[in-house]
Structure 1
Amino acid sequence: MANDPLALGQLYQQQSRRVLATLIRLLGDFALAEEAMQEAFTAAIRQWPEEGTPDNPTAWLIRAGQRRGIDQIRRKQTARQYSHLLANGEDVAPEPDEQSIADDQLRLLFTCCHPGLSIDARVALTLREMCGLTTEQVASGLLQKPATLAQRIVRAKKKIREAGIPYEIPGAKELPQRLPDVLRVVYLVFNEGYSRSDGESVVDISLANKAIRLAEELGGMLPQGEVFGLLALMRLQHSRRHARQDAEGELVTLEDQDRSRWDQQDIRQGLQYLELALTASPTGPYTLQASIAAVHAQALQADTTDWARIVRLYDALYRQQPSPIIALNRAVAVAMRDTPADGLRLLEALIPEKAILNYHLFHAVRADLYRRAGDTKAAATAYQRAIELTSQGPEQRFLQRRLAALGPIT
């Protein structure tokens, strides 16, 4: 590695987030830690070709970063603010071991996902600090302007500092309450990659992969049942990524997807994670959703799907999370198990939920069930409303094709 800039670049990709997480703990400030980390890698580029790569490159970078952080404090005359870091003069912390570095990653993740921050800030911070994306990459992934996204991240870091949000792993009593917030953020990152809210692509594989890798790291550090449940869910959903659009970029429904294009390695990994999750107790919502995804993954053809089992799983999921979205998905499963009319009756019961009326998939599902039931007039009205509510190109065109296929409406 000593004379290989490419290898050092790979080390940056693999280790920079670990170095940053520990420097935040040692220096107590996000911006200072980020700058110190960059200086440490710059020093490595300059020194390692001449001196050779250290036995523990990550520890070297952390120690170099801490020294440079302390130097910056002295140069900027902020010693009083950071007096706790200067108590030992030039001394730096002992060389960190793998466990302390892993713990620091957990600390950073729980800080980025703290419930005291807005959900948008949590997602942006997680992508920026945990996944290592640039501000421009995060803005692109979340379909926001870079300046707006940068301001959101700055405000979030300011709130962490001013509100005294602790840089720590929650204790055993607090962890069950805090972990769902972390899993929610990871799944939101995945969903933004897996089902884009705008644009011409329904999949941003890079974002989805970032979320999966983050969850895998979390699973290694915190092997909890719902962490494995989320991993199972994401792997099983991600297995269908190559079949969700055709060669022309048009949307393909689950029912019509070419199942030979589903990634079998992802399916195997997802089922393995699901088995780990099911051994834990109690079974949580991500594990139940993963169980539903597993039923689809194990059906060789759409018409062999075990819809009765899916309905039972949605029943259990709804008892845990009685939301309109889960009720909508359950209505689809009931329609597939029984008749479109049965599904439509369940959808009618959701109409008092005002938020669902502005959700394009609610109207798309109604349209499809009306179409299957032979009510083309009602189907056309529902398709038109769904088209009005979606801004994603492939979805709009898919709905328009379905609307056109109904023929003249009398």
Structure 2
Amino acid sequence: MPQTGATQAAEAAARRSYGKLVAFLAARTRDVAAAEDALSEAFAAALAQWPASGAPDNPEAWLLTVARRKQVDAVRTRLREESYAQHALLLEELAEAPDDGGIPDDRLRLLFACTHPAIDEAVRAPLMLQSVLGFDAATIASAFLVAPATMGQRLVRAKARIRQAGVPFEVPPRALWAERLDAVFAAIYAAYAEGWTDAAGADPARRNLAEEAIWLGRLLVALLPEEPEASGLLALMLHSHARRDARREGGEYVPLPWQDPRRWDATMIDEAETLLWRAGQRAAPGRYQLEAAVQSAHAVRQRGESPDARAILQLYEALWQLTGSPVAALNRAVALAEVEGAAAGLRALAPLEQEQRLNEYQPYWAARAHLLVACGWRAEAAEAYQRAIGLERDPAVRAFLQRQAARVSPAA
């Protein structure tokens, strides 16, 4: 098998089964970091061996077998360095685990293990993204507006805490779910957002992430039919995903207001609307229901209606009051500009200038540039566009921002 074929086979296995493999390996040892290390060595072995021997019929089972052998070797090394009693039972359990290729999907257990009270609340969702979906620290840091080095340190400490505290890998009693669900929701939505930004599916690390997140969202709704935020989260993802085909025209990025609603997925929108309606019957509004309601307000374009700008502003106002999030404040400012004009939007943005978390956030600079243009501040707008362009990873979005910047440049 050519080198590229081996790489593609390994990447496909990683996309399909990374979380399942880590969850299965870590369930026995309670050591997420060691499980990830063993799996990384297995992937390295695959890249070394598969080009010559060909990819196995069951790549996941091959990777699991090699990773478990790496775990056994690691335990044996510790046996030589520490007391035998401390690791002997673990070694026996690893050695006796079946090699029949059956890989149970323990991702839900791993998700809840990451929300254990022994784990710092701020790192629970990032830990899920790395352990369950294989994100690197830099990508996670970007999603949570944190410096990569800081996020890396937090993740290392959290994995050590799981091992030291002997955190159980199990779905807790339902009475304990409520206090842990926020982190589970946050991780799933962050995974969706990462996949959503790769509309063309060009990035192997993010390909199929959106579908994976929606699958996890459906699982939560099935497990928690009475939890309105679970339905709200799934509704939000479905509303966004319904527009995936309209976000590109001839390879060029198309912002939401310019999209052709005839290209939106009507079936997916209907499902999202049903979920949102059911969630609303519980009379317990939350972040995801509010965000889904914003998407629902835009979806009326599919029926030939115009979005209600004042309703969207009210929803963002409620979201900002509920979360205090700088991103919610940014969206509120943009919505305010639609109702009261660009100058009002700029005034609402002013307090965010000191918000460090937005310094590296492309949508902040793009929104600021748009409002500055509307107010006639072309030089300042051009500078803001340059900041946005430098922060954008998606080539199509970057090209769109460059076209916008060109219209306000001195030469133009």
TM, length-normalised to structure 2:
0.67
Equivalent residue letter for 1:276: R
1:86–1:125: structure 2 CA closer, same or farther, 3 Å change rule? Answer: closer
What RMSD, in angstroms, separates the aligned Cα atoms of the two structures? 4.6
In 2, Cα distance between equivalents of 1:164 and 1:329: 41
In 2, Cα distance between equivalents of 1:206 and 1:161: 30
Q: Are positions 1:395 and 2:394 aligned together?
A: no
Equivalent residue letter for 2:401: L
Deviates more, 1:326-335 or 1:217-226: 217-226
Query: Unpaired segments of 5 or more residues in structure 1?
Result: 1-12, 39-60, 93-100, 129-137
Equivalent residue letter for 2:129: V
Measured against aligned partners, the alpha-carbon deviations of 1:210-248 in whole angstroms (never above 9, x if no partner) come to 000011112212231111110000110111111112222
Q: Are positions 1:295 and 2:297 aligned together?
A: yes
Shift of 1:280: 2.1
Shift of 1:294: 0.7
Shift of 1:327: 0.8
1:356–1:198: structure 2 CA closer, same or farther, 3 Å change rule? Answer: farther
1:259–1:252: structure 2 CA closer, same or farther, 3 Å change rule? Answer: same
Match of 2:100 in 1: none
1:19–1:328: structure 2 CA closer, same or farther, 3 Å change rule? Answer: closer
Match of 2:309 in 1: 307
Shift of 1:155: 8.1
Shift of 1:205: 5.2
Measured against aligned partners, the alpha-carbon deviations of 1:182-229 in whole angstroms (never above 9, x if no partner) come to 111111111111125999779955110000001111221223111111
Match of 1:351 in 2: 353
Q: Are positions 1:215 and 2:183 aligned together?
A: no
SS of match in other structure, 2:249 = coil
Match of 2:145 in 1: none
In 1, Cα distance between equivalents of 2:204 and 2:196: 7
Identity of aligned residues (%): 35
Q: Are positions 1:242 and 2:252 aligned together?
A: no
Measured against aligned partners, the alpha-carbon deviations of 1:372-410 in whole angstroms (never above 9, x if no partner) come to 333323322322232233343222211110111235369
In 2, Cα distance between equivalents of 1:194 and 1:179: 22
Measured against aligned partners, the alpha-carbon deviations of 1:101-132 in whole angstroms (never above 9, x if no partner) come to 99x6643320145444564432021225xxxx
For residue 267 of structure 1, the aligned residue among 259, 266, 269 is 269
Q: Are positions 1:122 and 2:125 aligned together?
A: no
In 2, Cα distance between equivalents of 1:314 and 1:371: 23
In 2, Cα distance between equivalents of 1:84 and 1:324: 49
In 2, Cα distance between equivalents of 1:404 and 1:86: 63
Structure of greater Rg: 1
Shift of 1:283: 1.0
Deviates more, 1:279-288 or 1:165-174: 165-174
* Residues 203, 241 of structure 1: 8 Å contact kept: no
Query: Unpaired segments of 5 or more residues in structure 2?
Result: 1-14, 43-60, 98-103, 142-148
In 1, Cα distance between equivalents of 2:197 and 2:21: 32
Deviates more, 1:119-128 or 1:315-324: 119-128
1:218–1:23: structure 2 CA closer, same or farther, 3 Å change rule? Answer: farther
Match of 1:53 in 2: none
Shift of 1:83: 8.3
* Residues 111, 128 of structure 2: 8 Å contact kept: no
TM, length-normalised to structure 1:
0.68
